[in-house]
Amino acid sequence: MNDVGTGGAGTPRVAVVVFPGSNCDEDAALASRNVLGADVKMVRHDERALGDPDLVILPGGFSYGDYLRSGAMARFSPVMESVAAFAGQGGAVLGICNGFQILCEAGLLPGAMLRNEGLRFVCKDVFLRVESKRTPFTLAINKGDVLRMPIAHGDGNWTAERRAYEEMLARDQVVFRYVRADGSRGHGANPNGSLDDVAGICNVKGNIVGLMPHPERAAEDLLGNTDGARLFKSFATTRMAMHGA
Amino acid sequence: MTVLVRVMLKAGVLDPQGKAIAEALRRLGYAAVSDVRAGKLFCIEVDTADPKAAREVASQMAEKLLANPVIEDYELHLEEAGTPPGSLR
């Protein structure tokens, strides 16, 4: 394991950030252990040492009570300075649900979240289409594949300024879109009114990914759905390829 | 000195809450309601008597935390002596 982070592809290390109000941190840790076989370090919001991870996960929940705007307070946690530095060096960061909201508020991902169009908290399974293979979490998944995953959020109506969004499209930064079960876009697919049915995006470099659906809640047979495990497996495949193992 | 910071969704950004409130008002019989925008108002006490300094620090606070520049605009109003509390003008 002493080769991790220095070029070898030993046991992956995952840091799961725990904010006050995070509630999917243990699920993210379990998926990391059971799917990736990772050593998992839980890192508190007021810590700075991430522990030389291969992957940082910002989990779902209601950090700081979702006060002001979802993710707005978490952005100022000491740990976020470390996350930003790690991401700046090309480290892989996955923000799930509230984690996605935090990444947007922190400016690590473009756009912002509005209240769901229907004003309701929506908790159900949705279908996602993989729109880009340029991230570590989708590299080993086929573009156009449809994944079923649960969502549970009230502020998932992602939006961006028109020009910023056009630049994102030009740079292939839309990673997942909400679709119907057959993979087509249209009525009934988008649960929250997000711009252009966007469900997940990445930064320009592709190492930071945020999505509203919960892959960690659909990562094992025991959970009745393993579609979410494909993101974690893709990360493992990417990491092995990078390390030449 | 009290600074009021009013944060509103930018023009053109869909406001689901405002839409729902407008619909509720119409159902209550206020047929003249054509639009509602929902926003946030912060009353911030700043330990200074200098209006310029208060405005400057409130502006920084709005840009760093109170408003998200992607979707929201903000306006500042200083409460002078004699202004009724909470009044925007």
Residue B89 has pLDDT above 80, yes or no: no
Question: Which of A245, A227, A243, A242 minimizes the C-alpha distance to A35?
Answer: A227
Residue A6 has pLDDT above 50, yes or no: no
User: B29-78, pLDDT tens digit by residue?
Assistant: 999 999 999 999 999 999 999 999 999 999 999 999 999 999 999 999 99
User: What percentage of chain A carries pLDDT values higher than 90?
Assistant: 92
Q: What interface predicted TM-score (ipTM) does this complex get?
A: 0.80
Q: Tell me, what amino acid is at A218? A: A
The C-alpha of B71 sits at a distance from chain A's nearest C-alpha, in angstroms, of 7
Name, in order, each residue with C-beta under 8 angstroms of A2's C-beta and a sequence gap of 6 or more: A10
Cβ separation A117–B70 shorter than 8 A: no
Q: Using pLDDT thresholds of 50, 70 and 90, give the confidence band for residue B12.
A: confident
User: A31-70, pLDDT tens digit by residue?
Assistant: 999 999 999 999 999 999 999 999 999 999 999 999 999 9
Q: Which residues of A touch B68 (CB under 8 A)?
A: 69, 72, 105, 112
Name, in order, each residue with C-beta under 8 angstroms of B5's C-beta and a sequence gap of 6 or more: B41, B42, B44, B58, B61, B62, B66, B67, B74, B75, B76
pLDDT for residue B40: 96
pLDDT for residue A46: 96
User: A132-165, pLDDT tens digit by residue?
Assistant: 999 999 999 999 999 999 999 999 999 999 999 9
